[in-house]
């Protein structure tokens, strides 16, 4: 969830670790890169479908299309690997 305080659009970024580079997920309400296949936006909230272990990381919602306040969420995905 992005608990923004303005009416301006938000952007979402992802980092696999605190020292990793930012990977843009969305900009101003539009999904980018490979995220369009498994992600969606419900208003300003990011929804990830079919979570995978490598989705673990830091998700950052930025107000004012990336120029404003940051809202940080840490996501930890764990589970058992089921071989096919």
The pLDDT of residue 75 is 94
Would 82 be classed as within a structural domain? no
Would 44 be classed as within a structural domain? yes
Rounded to two decimals, what is the model's pTM? 0.84
The pLDDT of residue 19 is 92
Structure tokens at 8: 């301006």
Would 64 be classed as within a structural domain? yes
The pLDDT of residue 76 is 93
Q: Which domain holds residue 26?
A: 11-75
Would 54 be classed as within a structural domain? yes
Structural domains counted in the chain: 1
Would 83 be classed as within a structural domain? no
Residue 25 and residue 31 in contact, taking contact as beta carbons nearer than 8 Å = yes
Digits of tens for pLDDT over the chain (84 positions)?
Answer: 888 887 888 899 999 999 999 899 998 888 997 889 999 999 889 999 988 889 999 999 998 766 778 889 999 998 776 776
């Amino acid at each position: 969830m992005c608990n923004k305080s303005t009416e301006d659009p938000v952007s979402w970024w992802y980092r696999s670790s605190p020292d990793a580079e930012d990977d843009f997920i969305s900009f101003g309400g539009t999904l980018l890169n490979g995220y369009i296949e498994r992600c969606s936006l419900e208003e300003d909230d990011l929804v990830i479908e079919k979570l995978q272990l490598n989705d673990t990381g830091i998700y950052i919602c930025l107000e004012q299309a990336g120029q404003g306040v940051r809202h940080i969420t840490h996501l930890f995905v764990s589970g058992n690997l089921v071989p096919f």
